[in-house]
Amino acid sequence: MVLSLADNVSNGYCVKSIDPNGVIGNDGRINIGDYIVELNGKSLRGLMKIDLLAILNDCEQQQRRRQQRRQQIDTKNDDIM
């Protein structure tokens, strides 16, 4: 995920740039100028950047776990066939 955010802690974080070839760019739901105010049910308003990075890291770790589980399930299904 390549996403650049500008600080504006009272309103959340404003998206400054997006890698057009990345997951977010290909998805198309987040655009430059949008404010990200919540992630996984956690408000980003008033949060310092270090706290934002911790939340983003947690989101990334959860995504990796989901991908790992999905891969493990696919492997098990291949063994059955």
Q: Which residue has the tokens 């270090």?
A: 50
Share of the chain above pLDDT 70, in %: 68
Task: Please give the average per-residue pLDDT across 61-65, as a whole number.
Answer: 68
**CA-wise closest residue to 8 among 31, 28, 33, 30:** 33
Task: Please give the average per-residue pLDDT across 72-81, as a whole number.
Answer: 58
pLDDT of residue 1: 46
Kindly report the pTM of this predicted structure: 0.60
Third-level CATH fold of 3-80? Pdz3 Domain (2.30.42)
Q: Which residue has the tokens 């987040």?
A: 30
3-state helix, strand, coil in the chain (%, to 5): 45, 25, 30
Angle at 22 between CA 19 and CA 23, to 5 degrees: 130
